[in-house]
Amino acid sequence: MEKLKYALFTGCTAKESTPEQMMSTLAVAKKLGIELVELTEASCCGASHLQDYDDFLSLVLNARNIAYAENHGLTMVTICNTCQLNTAMTKHRLDHNAELKAKVNAKLAEVGLEYKGTSQITHFLYAIIDDFGLDKIKEMVTTPLSQFNIAPFYGCHNIRPSELQNESHKSPESAYKPTSLDDLIVACGGVNVDYEEKNKCCGFHAELQAPRTAAILTGNAVAGAMDANADWMVTPCPLCHLKLDTQTHHASIAIGREVSLPVLHMQQMVGLALGCTPAELGLNHHVTKVDFV
């Protein structure tokens, strides 16, 4: 197989509040022999909020990020569900609206860039599944996670709206019964846990504006995983991770029940199965202690 190579859009949290996500992404890519060219010029995607204030500005900034991936001639890989949604949504809107694309390109021309629509955009989870292949992951597992019940937490912005998301997937993912993360857990030798909240919202995006709503959603998610007998949770989204890892105190108060589980980034789970060390994967950067390794 030809070596896989992507343009990596890290997003902001990987540089700030989830350093372990950056570390584990690079560690896993190295193990899998995937080359990641970091888009150091990329800006914040606006995280689904900038567009509420200024939709056009959000489009221009996201189109600029994609243009840099296009200049490398590479598929853009994201490691944050919200980066994925915002970027893929921008691509969809520009690719389906020539007038809008021209308006955005008129702005990008001011800085010598052009959005062409030539790069695909996919989340690292789907790059692993679609391009690398779960069978190959299975073969490479050195430390099967067979003693663990693992609760997948998909994160809204990787699975909804499915019509948009499935534009970049090889096999379609249902928003109501997603399977990608479950399949990855199984490929890593773990036992995937089924529970109602696995495809639900963690509340992250309303944390400041609607703290009670956000805390209850977080509490429900962790409680659902605990009641399904999970040893830990795993998510492809650093924003879900922040919410589930750092906010369980508020969540416990909000739902009137003590809830807490270790939460791993998808990359950390794969890394553990492939024999990466806890230090390489940044497991010491979690607020809820990862006490099983």
Partner 1 sequence: MDTIKSQQVTFKVFRFNEETDYLPYYNTYTLDVTHEEVVLDILNRIKWDHDGSLSYRRSCRHGICGVCSIKVNGKGILACKSRLFDLVDVFGSELVIEPLSTKRVIKDLIIDKKDFWDKHAAVKPYLVSDIVEHPASEHLVSPHDAEKLLEADYCIQCGACHYSCPALAINEEFIGPAAFAAAYRFSADVRDDASLERLHIVNGEAQGVWDCVKCMECAEVCPKEVNPIEKITKLHNMVFEANIAKNNVATRHAVGFAHSIEKHGLLDEGELVRYSEGNIGVLKHVPVALKMFAKGKIVLPWNMPKADKLDEIKKLIKSSSTVKF
* Binding to partner 1, residues 128-157 (CB under 8 A): 156-157
Cα torsion for 219, 221, 223, 229, to the nearest 10°?
Answer: -160
Amino acid (1-letter code) at residue 18: T
Q: Given the complex with partner 1, which of 173 and 231 has the nearer CB atom?
A: 173
Q: How far apart are the first and last CA of the chain?
A: 33
Please report whether residue 37 would count as binding partner 1 according to CB under 8 A.
Answer: no
Residue 224 and residue 233 in contact, taking contact as beta carbons nearer than 8 Å: no
Tell me the C-alpha distance between 252 and 76, whole Å.
Answer: 38
Give start and end residues of each alpha helix (H) in the chain: 19-32, 50-53, 55-72, 81-95, 98-109, 124-126, 134-140, 156-159, 162-165, 180-187, 211-227, 238-246, 248-255, 266-273
Please report whether residue 105 would count as binding partner 1 according to CB under 8 A.
Answer: no
* Binding to partner 1, residues 197-216 (CB under 8 A): 200-201, 203, 205-206, 208-210, 212-214, 216
Please report whether residue 228 would count as binding partner 1 according to CB under 8 A.
Answer: no
Hey, what are 243's tokens? 């919410």
Stretch binding partner 1 (CB under 8 A), from 54-62, 134-142, 222-230, 273-281: 54-62
Q: Which distant-in-sequence residues (6+ apart) come within 8 Å of 39 by Cβ?
A: 7, 8, 9, 10, 65, 68, 69, 76
Tell me the C-alpha distance between 185 and 146, whole Å.
Answer: 10
Q: Given the complex with partner 1, which of 35 and 55 has the nearer CB atom?
A: 55
Q: Which of 5, 30, 49, 92 binds partner 1 (CB under 8 A)?
A: 49
Q: Given the complex with partner 1, which of 21 and 274 has the nearer CB atom?
A: 21
Q: Given the complex with partner 1, which of 99 and 135 has the nearer CB atom?
A: 99
Q: Given the complex with partner 1, which of 82 and 189 has the nearer CB atom?
A: 82
> Which residues lie near partner 1 (CB under 8 A)?
12-13, 15-19, 40-44, 46-57, 60-61, 64, 85, 107-108, 110-111, 113, 156-157, 160-162, 174-177, 196, 200-201, 203, 205-206, 208-210, 212-214, 216-217, 246-247, 249-250, 284-287
